[in-house]
Amino acid sequence: MIKKIIARSSGVLFYMVQYGCLAHCTFEYLADFCVCSGPSMQPTIYSSDIVLTEHISVNYKRVQKGDIVIARSPTKPLEFICKRVVAMEGDHIFNSNAQNIKFVPRGHVWLEGDNKHNSTDSRIYGPVPYALLRSRVFFKVWPLSDMGKMKMPKEEW
């Protein structure tokens, strides 16, 4: 009887570990869902929208100007930010907050929210190391009425 219980529970544990690890690998290296919060990406992404993100373009350095990315916040190490890549390494960019032109150094990107009036981004903390990028947002799944691929904002890029 006891033997049977132990055999059963160890079997369950085995599967839990296996599927947990499979899930970890999928969410860390392939794609995962993100619930966004905060106003910084309006009107592209609103608070509590759910988006699908993929890790492949970040891992293989395929991120381009105009992509929306999830990155670790440089000022709050445990939090994640969702911003648009506005400039890549080697570019010069006009910082509308400090009213000066900034150079984006090697290995860095310049991130800005689409909601220029309410976003804490590179205009405040400067260029962000590429190594902080985690994934690229490519599909919105919720709300259903707005489901679809991520688009460029209306203004010029």
Residues with a known catalytic role:
40, 83
Site for another protein in 95-154 (CB under 8 A): 105-108, 125, 128-133
Whole-angstrom distance, CA of residue 25 vs CA of residue 88: 28
Query: Please, which residue, 42 or 73, has the CB nearer to another protein?
Result: 73
Q: Tell me which of 7, 13, 16, 25 binds another protein, using CB under 8 A.
A: 25
* Least distance between another protein and beta carbon 150 (Å): 23
Q: Which is nearer to another protein, 41 or 128 (CB)?
A: 128
71-77 long-range contacts (CB < 8 A, ≥24 apart) are: 71/111, 71/128, 71/132, 71/133, 71/134, 72/132, 72/134, 74/125, 74/128, 74/129, 74/132, 75/120, 75/125
Q: Does 38 bind another protein (CB under 8 A)?
A: no
- Report how far Cα 110 is from the mean position of its chain's Cα atoms: 14
Q: Select 10 or 48, whichever has its Cβ closest to another protein.
A: 10
Residue listed under structure tokens 């992404």: 45
- Does 4 contact another protein by CB under 8 A? no
Q: Is 65 near another protein (CB under 8 A)?
A: no
Helical spans, DSSP H, in 26-82: 56-59
In whole angstroms, how close is the CB of 5 to another protein at the nearest point?
23
Closest CA to 127 of 93, 104, 106, 156: 104
Is residue 21 close enough to count as binding another protein by CB under 8 A? yes
